[in-house]
Amino acid sequence: MSTKLARPENWKEQAPEALPGSLTFAAQSSLPKLPVPKLEDTLTRLKETLKPIAWSEDEFNAVSRKIDAFSVGQGPELHRRLVEHDKGTKQWLEKWWDDGPYLGYRDSVVINVSYYYGFDVPKPGKFSSPAERAAGIARSAMIFRQKLKQGLVQPDASFCMDTYRWMFDCCRVPGIEGIDWSVTYSKPGDLGDSGHIIVIRKNRVWKIEAARDGKILSTADFTRQLQYIYDNTVGEHPGVGVLTASNRDVWAKPLQDLEELSKSPNNAEVIKAIHSSAFIISLEDAKPSDPVHHSRALWHGDFVAGFPVGLRNRWVDKPVQFVVFDNAYAGLMGEHSVMDGTPTARMCDEILDWLEDPSFDHGAPLTTTKDVPVPLDWDVTLATTEAIAKADVAARELCESQDLGFYLTSYGKDAIKKFGVSPDSWAQMIVQLAYRRLLNGQKRNGGTYEAATTRRFFKGRTEAIRVVSEESDAWVVSMDDPTVSPAQRKALFDAATKRHITLAKAAGQGQGVDRHLFGLKKVLAEGEKAPELFSDPVLARSNHWVLSTSAIFSKHFPVYGWGEVVPDGFGVAYMTGFNDRLQYTITSRREMPNKQFIDEIAKAADELYQLHSEVPNPKSML
C-alpha cells in the first residue's frame, strides 16, 4: 500500500461498471436523471416548511422576505449555473454529496456515520458454536457477492443498483487533505468465484481464502477454519483496529497512525489484505443478551476495564463488517459514506432468509485439516503503540458520551392499517407528539429529518422529508388541549398524515428542498457574496436536525440504529414492518433526556391507538 494519502481524482470510476443487460443492472441505462427542481417550486416548499420552525410571525416574515429577494436576485443565476452543471454530469449531486456529509466529515465514523443491524437472536441449541454461525454468514454472503458480480441478484424494484458496486472488495481510506475516498479491488469480469475474507479475533487479523477451484467454501469448511481461529487466538494482540475509529485527520496524519503503520512492508500487505477482502467478520468476546446490549455491542463494541475491546477488534472503514459474539448473537456494522443502508439491509435480509431455509446449499467440503487460515500480524512500533493508546482514550470518551434507548409498542402494522393509516406516517406522528411533550414548552431548536430514497433516479441516494408541518403541529397541540374532542383530534391527525404523505412522495421524486439548496450553495463562485437567505437563522434552525429519523425493515433485525447528528438531538431508528409491534431505537448524548423521550414515545403510541379506537375509520390504506 502506498503511503501517499492524497485522493486520486478518478477514484469513483475504479469500481467496475454494472454488467450491462444483466438481471441486476438491466434497468440502469433507462433510469431517469436526478432532476433539478424548479427554483420557484423549491422556494414555495421552503416557505411552507419554515412556517412551523419560526419562533414568531416576525421571524417568519423576515425569512420570507429573504426568500422573495433571493427569488428575483441571486437565485435565478445560481439556479442557471446548477442546471448547466447538471448538463455536464451523469448525476449533478453525486460528487458533492459523497464529499460533503460523508468523505469530508472529519470526526470518527463510529457513532457519527456508521450504522448497525442486529440479526435474529439465536434460539437455544440452534448453533453448536459461534464459529458455526459465523460460517453460515460467511458462505451465504460470499454467495450473494457471487450472484451480484454475475448480475443475478434480483433488482430492487426499479431502483438504481449503482451503489452495490461498493459493497464488497473495497474500503474507505483516510486522506491527508481533509477528504477521504474509497479504494476497490473489484475487477471487470470477476464472477465472484475467488477472493478472501478477513477475520479478526482478539485484535489478530486472519485471512481465509473463501473459494477453491472456482467454488465457494462450504459451511463446514468455514466452520472448521473459523474454529481454528478461535482455538489459536488465546491472548490479546495489539489493538491496531481502534486507529480506524479515530478522527479522520488523526487517522491519516503524516508519519503517524496510518502512514507510520504502513511504512512497514509487512503492514502495508496487511492493510491491502483488509482493503481487498470481500468483507470482514469480527469474532468478539461479548455476550449480549438484551436489545440495548446487542445494539451497543454492534454500534461501538464492548469496553473492558476502560479499553475499547470491540473497536480494537474491527476495521470500521469497511462497508460490510459482520460481528459474531461468543454466544452466537450477530449483526453487521456498516460504513455509510458511498452506500446507504438499504442495499446492505437487502443483502442481510436475503442471506438470513437462505440460512433459515432447510434447502439452502451449504456446499460440499473443499478443504482438509491442512488448509488453515493465515495470520497477518502487525509490526508495531513505539509510535503506533502510542497512537493506539490515544485512540483508546478517544474511543472511550466518544462511546461513553452516548446513550441508547429501545422500545417496542404493543401493536404493529396490522392494527395501524386497519385504522386506515400509513404505518410510516403513524410512527412519525408518535415521534412529533413525544418530542413536543419532551420540550415541555421550550422553543423547538431544529427540524425533523426523515430519509427518503431517490434511487428511482440514476445514482440517486436520499432526499430529506421535512416532517415538521403546520398540520403536524396542529394535531400535536390538540392532543394536550382538553377543549378539543377526539373527533377533532382525529381530523387534525388525518390532515397531518395526509401532509406527511405528500411531503414524502415529493422527496422521493427528487422534489424536496434540501438537496436543491445544497446544490445552489455549491455553485457559488469563490469569493462571491452569499445570498442573505443562506445565513438566515430560521433556515439554519430548520436543518439543524434535532430529530434524525429513518426506517428500514427486515424481519431478521431485532435491533438497528445509528447515532444522533447534532449534539442536542436524537437519532430515531424505527421499524414499521412487524405485524405486532413498532420498534424504536433512540440514540443521543448522555446529557440528553433519552429515557424521558422513550417514555414519551410509549405514552404517545398508546394515546394514538386509543384515539383511533375511540374514533374508528374503516378505510384501509397501504
pLDDT in tens, 68-102: 999 999 999 999 999 999 999 999 999 999 999 99
β-strand partners of 376: 205
Angle (deg, nearest 10), helices 341-356 and 130-149 = 120
pLDDT at 565 over 80: yes
For the 11-24+96-400 domain, the top CATH level (class) is: alpha beta
Give the whole-angstrom CA distance, residue 446 versus residue 443: 9
Return the C-alpha cell found at 302: 464492548
Q: What is the DSSP letter of 444?
A: P
Judge if 11-24+96-400 and 404-512+544-614 fold alike in CATH terms. Answer: yes
pLDDT band for position 18 (50/70/90)? confident
User: Taking the model in full, what pTM does it have?
Assistant: 0.96
311, 114 Cβ separation under 8 angstroms: no
Task: Tell me what percent of the residues of the chain surpass a pLDDT of 70.
Answer: 98
What's the rounded Cα separation, in Å, for the pair 559 and 329? Answer: 11
Residue ranges per structural domain of the chain = 11-24+96-400, 404-512+544-614
Q: Burial of 323 by CB count in 10 Å (0-12 exposed, 13-18 middle, 19+ buried)? A: buried
CA distance 569 to 584: 15
pLDDT of residue 618: 54
- Note whether 417 and 578 are within 8 A (CB): no
Q: What is the pLDDT of residues 332-367, one digit of tens each?
A: 999 999 999 999 999 999 999 999 999 999 999 999
- Comparison of pLDDT for 19 and 35, the residue scoring more: 35
Q: Mark whether 196 is an active-site residue.
A: no
Q: Which of 237, 300, 336, 500 is catalytic?
A: 336
Nearest to 151 by CA among 319, 14, 16, 21: 21
The grid coordinates listed for 496 are 397531518
Query: If you ran DSSP here, which 8-state letter would residue 481 be given?
Result: -
Which three-class secondary structure string do you get for 549-616? EEECCCCCCCEEEECCCCCCCEEEEEECCCCCCCEEEEEEECCCCHHHHHHHHHHHHHHHHHHHHHCC
Confidence of residue 567 (pLDDT cuts 50, 70, 90): very high
Average pLDDT estimate for 562-589: 98
What distance in Å separates the CA atoms of residue 489 and residue 492, rounded to the nearest whole number? 5
Give the residue among 91, 75, 85, 86 at the shortest CA–CA distance from 41: 75
The CATH class given to the 404-512+544-614 domain equals alpha beta
pLDDT at 2: 42
Residue 324 has pLDDT above 80, yes or no: yes
Classify the C-alpha dihedral 311-182-88-73 as positive or negative.
Answer: positive
* CA angle at 602 for the pair 598 and 604, rounded to the nearest 5°: 110
Where does the pLDDT of residue 262 fall: very low under 50, low under 70, confident under 90, or very high at 90 and above? confident
**Residue 265 near residue 1, CB atoms below 8 Å:** no
* Residue 143 identity: I
How many Cβ atoms from other residues are within 10 Å of residue 229's Cβ?
A: 22
DSSP string, 186-224: --TT--SS--EEEEEETTEEEEEE-EETTEEPPHHHHHH
Per-residue three-class SS string for 57-120:
HHHHHHHHHHHHHHHHCHHHHHHHHHHHHHHCCCCCCHHHHHHHHHHCCCCCHHHHCCEEEECC
> Length of the chain, please?
622
Dist CA 256 CA 262 (whole Å): 9
Backbone angles phi, psi at 514, to 5 degrees: -70, -40
Most confident of the ranges 293-297, 338-342, 618-622? 293-297
pLDDT in tens, 212-240: 999 999 999 999 999 999 999 989 999 99
Query: Distance (Å, rounded) from C-alpha 196 to C-alpha 180?
Result: 25
Tens-digit pLDDT profile for residues 106-121: 999 999 999 999 999 9
Strands (E), 285-346: 321-325, 330-334
Nearest CA among 299, 305, 303, 309 for reference residue 236: 309
What are the cell numbers at 332? 453487521
Q: How far is CA 295 from CA 46, 152, 243, in A?
A: 36, 32, 22
* Cβ neighbours, 10 Å, residue 176: 18
Quick one: DSSP state of residue 244? G
The confidence band for 622, taking pLDDT boundaries of 50, 70 and 90, is very low
Q: What is the mean pLDDT of residues 11-24?
A: 89
Q: What are phi and psi of 282, to 5 degrees?
A: -100, 120
